Structure 1
Amino acid sequence: MGFGKDMKGRASHDAMLRVQDSEIRLLDTIHHFVLTRAENDRKYAAGLGKLLAAAIKADSSEFKETCSVFKAWDVILKETENLSRNLRSNSEHLTHSTAEVLAQLIAEKKAARRKYLEERERLDTDFARVQEEMVRNKIDYARAVDRLSQDKAKYLELQGKGKSGPKLDEAKSKFFRSAVRLHKLHNEYVTSVHQAREHQTMLRDTALPAVLDSHQDCQEALVHKTKFVLEDYLQHTDTCKEDFQSIVHNISEAVQSVRPGAEYSTTFIEVHKSTLPSPAEFNFEERLLDDYKGSLKAGALEANDLTIEALHEKLSKLMEEVEDINTRMTRTSSDQQKASLDVNKLSAQLTESPTIDNINNYLEKRRESESYTQSLLEMEGNIHRLEKLAALLKQPIDQLGSEPAPLASDLKDIMNGSDGSDGQSPTGLPPISPSSASSTLSQQKDHNFMKSLSKINPFKKVVRSSSSHSGGLNLSTSGATDDDGDSTISNDNNSPLGEESGSHPDMRHKTSGSYERSELNVTTSNGPENRMSMLKMREQGQLVDMDASEAKNRIADEGWFHGVLPREEVQRLLTTDGDYLVRESKNKKTNETQFVLSVFWQGHRHFIIQFGSDRGWHFEGQAYPTIQELVKRQFDSRMPVTTKSGAILKRPILREWELLNDDIELKMKIGTGNFGEVYKGVYQKSLEVAVKTCKDTLTEDQKIKFLQEGRILKQYKHPNIVRYIGIAAQKQPVMIVMEFIPKGALLSFLKVSGSSQTMKQLTQMCVDASSGMEYLEGRGCIHRDLAARNCLVGENNVIKISDFGMSREEAEYTVSTGMKQIPVKWTAPEALNYGKYTSLCDVWSFGVLMWEIFSCGKSPYAGMTNSRAREWIEEGNRLDSPPNTPDQVYKLMRRCWEYHDEDRPHFTSINKTLTAYVRRLEKLDPAAGKT
């Protein structure tokens, strides 16, 4: 079988042309594929190189020789470098060798097709010429036969009438000439018939088969070359080759050499082993008693009427603690045994099926078992420690036996009145008896201690009275300072600090584990003069109560007050230790407004600013009448916000949003956006504006996206981009304020007035949109939702780009989550297929926008679902040209819809092309530009 024998017919000829065209298109696709693959491999190799550089920079070579994990990682890095080198080498070969051979092959394929067509046309032309000559001779022969018959008849007629003379001679001459001509044409006609017959035989049996066989041989030679190209591609993309297998084998060996059970027990311990320093000695300082005369002895417990009650209480607590630990040990031991059994089961299961879930379960259960073991050992140590302390306490108690505790020798003289007194207790105290001496003196000592402490501690705590403790006060620490709760120290009612006693029901408490926590009553020595209480300040008119809204109005002018900014947005702004701002928040349980100080200090921390009606705004220290004063004092003093957090205010972060909500008056609803309603409004009672609002019910992530549109708009100033005025975020609702465009959305304008626009006006709309997009592309902004619905029509029908809710300020942006909100019919294939967005995706969308403009607002891909439209585009189809659309404009649309993004024009080129076309239209008669 061959072309010369079996492919002579016209249908075979057409099939050969079609297969050659398909082969050329296939080779073009392969050429593009090889170049793209080479480029991606090159980028992959470059990415691996960057990863290697970062990994090597962060790598620690100290433990390579002692820890197998470090050794394995070192092998992985080296083999990854080999992988990167191989990929880079293969990529260069594909680019400079394989692709060049492919380009040459495509040229040869086109030349072979052209040659075949030329040869086939030559044969057909020659045969047609022979046939035409035969037909021509046939016609001439037929005419000669008719002419001879006519001339013969005329001659015989004249002869039959007996006429003679010139007429008969003339008739005879014509008859003779006709006979001669007929005989000549007869031979020519016979010859041409034979020639046509022989030429056809030669064509069918010799010439055409020779051309077809020659063409088949040429095509098969090119197929051989194509196979070489594909083999070359395979060779330089095959990751199963020996060099790649060697990389994987080396990494596998290194990983398998890791022995978890022996990771540290061999070389590492041998190299880095050390012992603890000698234990510290803790001895009673005997010299402290050098000037003391009494019964107290260095290092020995004293059991007398002043201490016996405390010794009994201490011993009782120790024994309770030992009993509690024993109970917990029993429970923990049981849990540890269960966990140990689970570990053994999971270990066996892991051997049979080493899946990641089994590994995670094994590690989790092993950690749990080890945690129980550690807890048991610690509890055993604590029991041993507590038992020794109990034995120490029990010894003097046992020595007393059933005897009453003796009086303290220090007080015998006082009790006997030998010092000249009447034997009574000091003024204001009840008489001392063995049963009351301990508690009374203890209270007096505590009172004296607290008085002396208040003199030296600038951050002393304020005491509070409590009805549950008669004759004493509670001294409570701040809940925001310590997660362990409040500590309490007793005092007597005579304390001068009792002015600030009383409970505070309005204090808001957060649960443990949060940095947004309440603060209890505290004061400092550097507050109002003589530590004047807030209650007294209020009585003197120095402090005025404010509710949350009044407080917010007072701080609205402060640059560091950010209003209702979401917590995630706040954390974006705070990046360096000491950065801080104040924001408004809601109590999730009570929906009550509260103010939060957000600080970056070794991480993000958030402190609720506490307010007490009789004190003011405060953290742990002095309270102040206003939040501004509190923040200023905290900033100026450089003291920690709370002792536990250690957070210090160093740098206020000023808000990005400059408008006040109260300056904006919403007039009427004009639309609905992705995040809330859109209103026509008035700013500062004079300027008409468009206002986008953010629903209070949105998630934090949606609120961040809403604010992102404002951040993007703020940077851009261009006549073809809607003008940004500002953002108001002091309170709900958060608002983005933009210039008001009276004519509204371009899509609505086109549906109503599109048919009345001239060709120049429609093209100018495209020029305006391309100018705005050229500006955005130059600043690395990807719009991602370019369509007629998101463009506005300004004065003189100037088009302005709007709606940046989906925009990204990146050269390339990749979406990995769901794509439910993507406008499929306006989105480029690579974005739909791979989630990859670039400015060239906006170019695709711009092509659809142009189609909308020239179709006067019709829907693209009408009648198709989103999924069908995707399939239709993938099949190579594109939107038809709208009626009356200039060819040059439609060609530009088609360029915007090139499947491969690198084949699409950039907005600079688009704008130049459209501008040039508008200038051409301006030179034409206005009537010629009508639609």
Structure 2
Amino acid sequence: MSGLSNRYVAMRDFQATSEDEISIKVKERVQVLFMERDRWRVSKVDLSGQVLDPPEGYVPRDCLVNEMPVEQQQWFMDIDKAETEKLLLSEPNIDGSFLVRPGRDLSYCLSVRKNKQVIHYDIERDVTQGFFIHIGRYFTCVHDLVLYHRYHLEDHKCLPLVPFLSSLSSSENWERPSSDFTLVRKVSDFDISHYRFTRWESSWKEGRRKVLVHTMSREFFTRNHFMSGMEVLKTLSHRNVAELYALCTTEDPVYIVTECMEKGDLQSFLCGEEGHRLSESELLHIADQVLVGMAYLEAKRVLHLDLCCRNILVGNDLVCKISQFGFAIQEKGKHVWPPGKKMLVKWMPPEVIEQGEVSSKTDVWSFGILLYEIFSLGQTPYKGVTSKEAAKNMLAGYRLPMPPLCPADVYDLMLKCWYEDPRKRPTFQQIVESKIFF
């Protein structure tokens, strides 16, 4: 079913006790092949969805949870009851269309169109048994509740249920007038080569209430071929990659509209009061999310080329998402640094600075610098040194020292990311498989 994911994560270890079962460890990813009442048949997969050995087997249903939080599911929307009814009753939705929205007291609500009306079902949560609509039928996560009630919603005859469709999310309708958005609060700004970039918490008058708007001059947007990066972003869908909602490219300044994350960018977050209270395990959790997102891009053969803490967005519960895809390109053979694009020199490896050669190993080097930022709580790499001096020192063999909060094995990984020969640097998938962050 479109919009319902069959990708899950293990919440705890399970040791197989029969030939038709499969052993899994906490945080391993699986793809659900089919479901029985108390156990599901699964196959282990990597971040790209590639099936791993052993091929498949049964595990208890209650040790798995869908890999995407409710708020990141395609069928979730942060709107109120009136807006929900307006959306579900509009085209192209039909009877059976549904969405999940915030409910009362931090719970959720399942809203379903039926006979050209909208019926609302409260999703409640029992602390010990899980989520439910009807007492006696409990689910580990809201996703599984939705999956079950697709066919078992009481008194609902418009089956099966299908996720809502919004004309605003159509890939043919990315371009919007800037008047659709109200810039509410400046989140951050920075300069690249005399051009000012600003991020704004904004409101969208249609559909979604809160969005993040990145503004820049149309001259810079055009000169640096940002549209190619936006075309790449349109093809991506991952819990650790910021979603593109809309573009406003015909006026000056240009608006790039993405999902809004409550805590702002990672660099500012780490430097703030909340960042200075983070534990080592929380810093590792942040690093792991960026890693998982980059492994996804690697599997998609996408080069980000602008990976640094200020381009990672942070939400509630320390959810992190990679953003700022203006420099991104699809990897097809050998690449050189795009002509005219300004690079973040302090995050770039030797082959880019000297020959302009880029590859997925460019992002691996930048990931090592980003780890330095994380474990120094947002400190700028090569602080107090110009980009030219930093490049000269790096080319002579200098590497950043281990930050005070950095575990020794993570610093060892950073040094591997900074091998001069890109062929010796690990891939993101290899780093994921090392399980270094958990």
Cα shift readout 1:302-351 (whole Å, capped 9, x = no counterpart): xxxxxxxxxxxxxxxxxxxxxxxxxxxxxxxxxxxxxxxxxxxxxxxxxx
- Alpha-carbon offset, residue 754 of structure 1: 3.2
Alpha-carbon separation, structure 2, partners of 1:695 and 1:816: 19
Code of the residue aligned with 1:690 in structure 2: it is L
Give the structure 1 partner of residue 204 of structure 2: 683
1:745–1:788 Cα contact (<8 Å) kept? yes
Distance in 2, Cα, partners of 1:879 & 1:670: 29
Query: How do 1:230-241 and structure 2 match up within 5 A?
Result: none
Structure 2: distance between partners of 1:661 and 1:700: 15
Shift of 1:875: 2.3
Partner of 2:413: 892
Answer yes or no: is the 8 Å Cα contact 2:348–2:362 preserved in 1: yes
Q: Which whole-Å CA distance do the structure 2 matches of 1:719 and 1:816 have between them?
A: 28
Instruction: Give, in angstroms, the shift of residue 890 of structure 1.
Output: 0.9
Distance 1:676 1:880 in 2: 30
| Within-5 A mapping of 1:223-372 | none
SS in 1 for 2:303: coil
CA distance in 2, matches of 1:731, 1:870: 37
Match of 1:544 in 2: none
Aligned residue identity for 1:778: A
Q: Is the 8 A contact 2:287 2:437 kept in 1?
A: no
Give the match's secondary structure for 1:857. Answer: coil
* Structure 2 equivalent of residue 748 of structure 1: 268
TM-score by length of 2: 0.55
Query: Structure 2: how far apart are the matches of 1:748 and 1:731?
Result: 29
- Within 5 Å, give how 1:728-877 maps onto structure 2: 728-729=248-249, 733-752=253-272, 753-811=274-332, 812-815=334-337, 817=339, 821-877=342-398
**Aligned: 1:721 with 2:238:** no
| 2:187 matches 1:670 | yes
Change (3 A) 1:736 1:750: same
Distance 1:841 1:699, change over 3 A: closer
Measured after TM superposition, the shift of residue 656 of structure 1 is 5.5
Cα distance change on mapping 1:664 and 1:801 into 2, 3 Å: same
Q: 1:859 to 1:734 in 2, by over 3 A?
A: closer
In 1, Cα distance between equivalents of 2:241 and 2:412: 26
Per the alignment, residue 692 of structure 1 pairs with 214
CA distance in structure 1 between the aligned counterparts of 2:375 and 2:183, rounded to whole angstroms: 35
Pair 1:884–1:707, CA change in 2 (3 A): closer
**Cα distance in 1 for residues equivalent to 2:222 and 2:251:** 18
Query: CA, structure 1 residues 729+751, in 2 after alignment: closer, same or farther (shift >3 Å)?
Result: closer
Measured in 2, the distance between the counterparts of 1:918 and 1:679 equals 32
Alpha-carbon contact 1:714-1:726 (below 8 Å) kept: no
Per the TM alignment, residue 826 of structure 1 is displaced from its structure 2 partner at its CA by 0.6
Q: 1:735 to 1:715 in 2, by over 3 A?
A: same
Percent sequence identity is 33
Is the CA contact (8 Å cut-off) linking 2:229 and 2:329 kept in structure 1? no
> Distance between the aligned counterparts of 2:436 and 2:222, measured in 1?
44
Answer yes or no: is the 8 Å Cα contact 1:680–1:691 preserved in 2: yes
Q: Which secondary structure does the structure 1 equivalent of 2:399 belong to?
A: coil
Does the CA contact (< 8 Å) of 2:336 and 2:358 recur in 1? yes
Counterpart of 1:720 in 2: which secondary structure? coil
Distance of 1:655 and 1:918 partners within structure 2: 39
- Closer/same/farther in 2, CA of residues 890 and 713 from structure 1, 3 Å limit: same
- Give the secondary-structure state (helix, strand or coil) at the position aligned to 2:210: strand
Alpha-carbon distance between aligned partners in 2 of 1:732 and 1:655, rounded to the nearest angstrom: 22
Matches within 5 A, 1:190-201: none
Shift of 1:694: 4.3
The answer on whether the counterparts of 1:666 and 1:680 sit within 8 Å (CA) in structure 2 is yes
Q: Is the 8 A contact 1:670 1:680 kept in 2?
A: yes
SS at match of 2:246: strand
TM-score, normalisation: structure 1: 0.27
- Taking structure 1 as reference, are residues 830 and 808 closer, same or farther at Cα in structure 2, changes over 3 Å only? same
Summarize the alignment of residues 50-129 of structure 1 with structure 2, pairs less than 5 Å apart: none
Distance in 2 (CA, whole Å) between partners of 1:714 and 1:675 is: 24
CA distance in 2, matches of 1:886, 1:699: 40
CA 1:667–1:847: 2 relative to 1, 3 Å:
same
CA offset at residue 788 of structure 1? 0.8
Work out whether residues 710 and 726 of structure 1, in 8 Å CA contact, stay in contact via their aligned partners in 2. no
Show CA shifts across 1:244-272 (max 9, x none).
Answer: xxxxxxxxxxxxxxxxxxxxxxxxxxxxx
Matched position secondary structure for 1:792:
strand
> Which residue does 1:388 correspond to in 2?
none
Query: Compared with structure 1, are the counterparts of its residues 733 and 884 closer, same or farther at alpha carbon in structure 2 (3 Å cutoff)?
Result: closer
Q: Offset of 1:798 from its aligned partner?
A: 1.6
Give 1:553-572 correspondences, 5 Å limit: none
Q: Is the 8 A contact 1:681 1:690 kept in 2?
A: yes
Q: Aligned equivalents of 1:873 and 1:731: distance in 2?
A: 41
Residues in 1 aligned to 2:303 and 2:338: alpha-carbon distance in whole angstroms = 17
* Separation in 1, partners of 2:305, 2:290: 14
How many Å apart are 1:731 and its aligned residue? 5.3
Residue type at the aligned position of 1:769: V
List aligned pairs for 1:571-590, cutoff 5 A: none
Distance 2:196 2:380 in 1: 24
Alpha-carbon distance between aligned partners in 1 of 2:215 and 2:201, rounded to the nearest angstrom: 11
Check conservation: 2:308, 2:366, Cα contact below 8 A.
Answer: yes
How many Å separate the matches in 1 of 2:388 and 2:197? 28
Aligned residue pairs, count: 261
Change (3 A) 1:657 1:813: same
Separation of aligned partners in 1, 2:346 and 2:322: 19
Q: Which amino acid aligns with 2:381?
A: P
Judge conservation of contact 2:291–2:432 (CA < 8 Å) in 1. Answer: yes
Distance 1:755 1:660 in 2: 40
**Partners of 2:387 and 2:370 in 1: how far apart?**
17
Match of 1:701 in 2: 222
Residues 376 and 405, structure 2, Cα contact 8 Å, conserved in 1: no
Cα pair 2:221 2:254 within 8 Å, conserved: no
* Alpha-carbon displacement from aligned partner over 1:495-531 (angstroms, at most 9, x marks no partner): xxxxxxxxxxxxxxxxxxxxxxxxxxxxxxxxxxxxx
Contact 2:271 2:377 in 1 (8 A): yes
For 2:308 and 2:390, locate their aligned partners in 1 and report how far apart those are by CA, in whole Å: 17
Correspondence list, 1:421-820, <5 A: 657-672=174-189, 676-684=197-205, 687-696=209-218, 698=219, 701-702=222-223, 705-729=225-249, 733-752=253-272, 753-811=274-332, 812-815=334-337, 817=339
Measure the CA separation in 2 of the matches of 1:738 and 1:805. 13
Q: How far has the Cα of 1:907 moved from its partner?
A: 0.5
Q: Deviations over 1:38-91 (max 9, x none)?
A: xxxxxxxxxxxxxxxxxxxxxxxxxxxxxxxxxxxxxxxxxxxxxxxxxxxxxx
Give the distance between the partners of 2:221 and 2:269, measured in 1 at CA: 35
Distance 1:857 1:693, change over 3 A: closer
- Name which one, 1 or 2, has greater alpha-carbon Rg: 1
CA contact (8 A) 2:197 2:216 kept: yes
Higher relative contact order by CA 8 Å / sep ≥ 6: 1 or 2?
Answer: 2
Q: Is the 8 A contact 1:689 1:737 kept in 2?
A: yes
- CA RMSD, aligned part only? 2.5
CA distance 1:656–1:832, shift in 2 (3 Å): farther
1:729 Cα deviation after fit: 4.6
Give the drift of 1:660.
4.5
Give distance in 2, aligned partners of 1:838 and 1:735. 28
Distance, in Å, in 2 between the alignment partners of 1:762 and 1:693 is: 29
CA gap of 1:917–1:724, structure 2 versus 1, over 3 A, is same
Matched letter for residue 832 of structure 1: I
